[in-house]
Structure 1
Amino acid sequence: MRNPSILSATPARPHRAGAPAPVKPRASRKAVPALFDACQIGVVLRTVLFVEAVVAIATLFAASTAVDWLTLAATITGGALPATLLWLVAACGLKRMLGRMRREAQFATGALLGAVAALYGCGLLRLTGVLGAAPWVASALAGAMFAAIVMAALVLRARGRTPAATTARLEELQARIRPHFLFNTLNSAIALVRDEPAKAEAMLEDLSELFRQALAEPNESVTLADEIALAERYLAIEQVRFEDRLRIRWDLDPDASHARLPPLLLQPLVENAVKHGVEPSPEGARLRIRTERRGGMVVIEVTNSLPPLRWADQPLPRGHGIALDNVRDRLRLMHDMQAQFSAGIDQDHYRVRIVIPAEP
């Protein structure tokens, strides 16, 4: 073999016919370690709803009737809502600068921005004549307090991602590196060693790369190009097993290759497509992996044809949906409300569709 230390290093191999063209990696950029991200749609929506809920509850103490409450709540909203939006815009615009600060400085700057935004909202109410005497100090303190509460909530949510991501990763490893898959791959490689040693070596290299990725230190995110490359190695192994029964089509958009997603997310979807599409069918199945960039979003689709029911002597096995739930939860943790996930039968195909933000 070319490289006896196959488990420690995977040598470069020529591009396979029919496989997707390798995407040239872009120079990596250092991630900005911001304490919180006010640019996400989910953060904006939750912050606005939180402020409005506090306004609605606080005005109940000063209103004697429902009409008075609605009038007072609408009046205060006229200052609170612009102030909240101003704080979110400022925090989003200063995201990179905040990322270069220490944690304490980020909190202090965020609270200061909250105070300034609250003074802006108070000034609007004063200029429109709604307030006779503007409570400048109270407004500034309230704005700083609201900003601190929102930042603390975002930090706690970010900390909560770590155990959830770790649990999801462990479940995914158990679903992916299954004993029967390992045994089938090794048996296929043994059968090829004597007659086709080059193909056996390539299969073992693909297997070693899958295990290297599975056992590597977890990262928060990887590029779509990395996930495509890993899926290509997995399907290369399955191609040897199923031969002509597995027909793969790649429709890849180079502009979508730099989108970020959780690591080891695409491969379980591809494995599900092989397990439920190819294995039960004597004639095999068609598998299509498609990526496309649409404006500021990237669409990822994994589609497999379904086996005709006439081939099944008994009802076809149905999965428990653990892998799909895993993917959905990890996407929500990383991209919040910006991520979309759907899965289901589309005529004679099963389609999994993911929409995530494109890399800016």
Structure 2
Amino acid sequence: MKYNLLLIFYFIFFYVNAQTVQLKVIDYSTKNPIENADAYFTISTESYISDKDGKISMNLAHVNPTEELIVSKKEYQSARINATSIQSNLIIKLEKIEEIDLNEAYFTNLKTEDILRKVIENYDKNFNVNKFYFLVDLKQNFKIDTVYENYINLNLQLKFDKGKVKAKSSGIVKNKHEKGIAPLKLDFDKSDYFKHLYVLEGIKSVYDNLLKNQYTTSKLGFTEYAEKKMYEIHLENKEGSKNYFLIDRETFSVVEYKLNLNNRIKTNKNTPLQRNGIISFRYRPYQDAWVLKDSEVNFKMYLEQANNQILEIDFFHQISSWNFSNKPFEYFNKTIDLNQNLHDRF
């Protein structure tokens, strides 16, 4: 009887582990690992990103054998692999695309303002995401000098509905810690960030400022991502803030948007705050739409106090979407108010 139980356990263990494979993505010429390469299937909704060593741990439990795995990285030719050919320790080699080839092959007379206008006109068609529920991994860290740190990591279910975002949790916190005593309390409008994860209002603002000559185009070029030809647009203003767009040349979908900020703002303490850092948004293709992949806010800020003391503040916030569905996910049934501080909510 003991032998039979051990045998059953062995087969269960073998089956579970057989569903998980380890892949590695490298540069075809240099053989160096490729970080942040995207891996996703043509039908399945789960997606993966390679780490700094080019490695991806992938679960094949829900993958249809007829599917194909697509591995993509900007400026590289994508790789397609049949699901039945995927096995552990598979090395995927991506070949870089020469920029001059892209420029010669995809010459266009469109200007930056023409491209952004077409992005706005085609937005609803390209970002039809109200039907999906997204599972995201959220990490947030807030530090003030060396005296205070507040970190939280948990999973959320997000639902976009006509400009609003609803969030639910399983109630489980993956990691949380708080060190020291905060010398002050600052309020950040997080609900506005979540509401604009699909960046239509931001694009409209950039477009309007471009027409007012408040931004200049420092570069308009071409590249390739996810087997699609892309526009690359770099904009900047006199204050040093920069905008970067990666846009699908055929559908005018925004695939990536990054805002490098360098400005001064007022806080709830009515004191000036110098803010430097990035806000970024990235999306992945799925059937006839582009869906959220990840977003990051990474700021280093300097707060001038009444006694002329400067407080250095680091704020890091990242969400990564690893799955989505047209039905709610099981166990995510605890409603979360995104206006509240997540550290206080859990």
TM over 0.5: no
Which structure is higher in helix share? Answer: 1
Q: Which has the higher strand share?
A: 2
Q: TM-score when scaled to structure 2?
A: 0.25
Structure-1-length-normalised TM-score: 0.24
From the CA coordinates, give the structure whose radius of gyration is larger. 1
